């Protein structure tokens, strides 16, 4: 019980350090619970990469891999619980409030990629990769257009 409380407190203190910006982790830096869950859920996975990201105010581990030639991305929390999948969406599927905010944020804008991330409790977040004002950016945004995280890519 104390370990869970301490882990939660540490996570709360460390959360602001992480962002939606992905950074490949060495497997030695990935929690054992994430690796174990991945092996159980996807035993045939190949070309595995793990990134640490911040979504919904939580540190999540994005695991990218291939099975039978298909690319997959799935999310786990630090305890190895399956969190969900990131789903790549068409630019035309991005909610209009997000488009409006992006146009207000960047004078010159090119949307490169968009992903919809679903929280198990039903909340949704969008991860948008853009070229804005001559620089590459990755943003985590609410469906209403609020920017939660904005990092140079």
Provide the residue-wise pLDDT of the chain in tens; the chain has 153 residues: 444 433 333 333 333 333 334 568 888 999 999 999 999 988 999 999 999 988 888 899 999 988 888 788 899 999 999 988 888 899 999 999 999 999 999 999 999 999 998 888 888 999 999 999 999 999 999 999 999 999 998
Hey, what domains does the chain have and what are their CATH numbers?
2-86 (3.10.450.360), 89-152 (3.10.450)
Within 8 A by CB and 6+ apart from 83, the residues are 60, 74, 75, 76, 77, 119, 120
Closest CA to 85 of 54, 116, 43: 116
CA–CA separation, 134 vs 69, rounded Å?
Answer: 34
Closest CA to 15 of 140, 142, 152, 153: 140
Whole-model pTM over 0.85: no
Q: What is the pLDDT of residue 54?
A: 85
DSSP β-bridge partners for residue 128 = 114, 139
Q: Encoding tokens for residue 137?
A: 């950016």
Q: What is the pLDDT of residue 119?
A: 83
Q: What is the pLDDT of residue 23?
A: 62
């Amino acid at each position: 019980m104390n370990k869970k409380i301490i882990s939660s407190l540490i996570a709360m203190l460390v959360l602001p350090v992480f962002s939606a910006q992905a950074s490949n982790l060495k497997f030695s830096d990935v929690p054992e619970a994430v690796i174990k869950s991945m092996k159980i859920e996807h035993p045939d996975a190949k070309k595995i990469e793990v990134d640490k990201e911040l979504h919904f105010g939580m540190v999540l581990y994005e695991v990218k891999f291939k099975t039978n030639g298909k690319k997959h991305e799935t999310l786990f929390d630090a305890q190895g619980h399956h969190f969900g999948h990131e789903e790549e969406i068409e630019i035309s599927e991005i909610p209009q409030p997000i488009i409006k905010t992006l146009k207000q944020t960047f004078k010159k804008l090119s949307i490169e990629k968009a992903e919809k991330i679903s929280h198990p409790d039903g909340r949704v977040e969008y991860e948008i990769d853009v070229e804005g004002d001559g620089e590459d950016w990755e943003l985590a945004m609410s469906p209403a257009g609020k920017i939660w995280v904005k990092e140079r890519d």
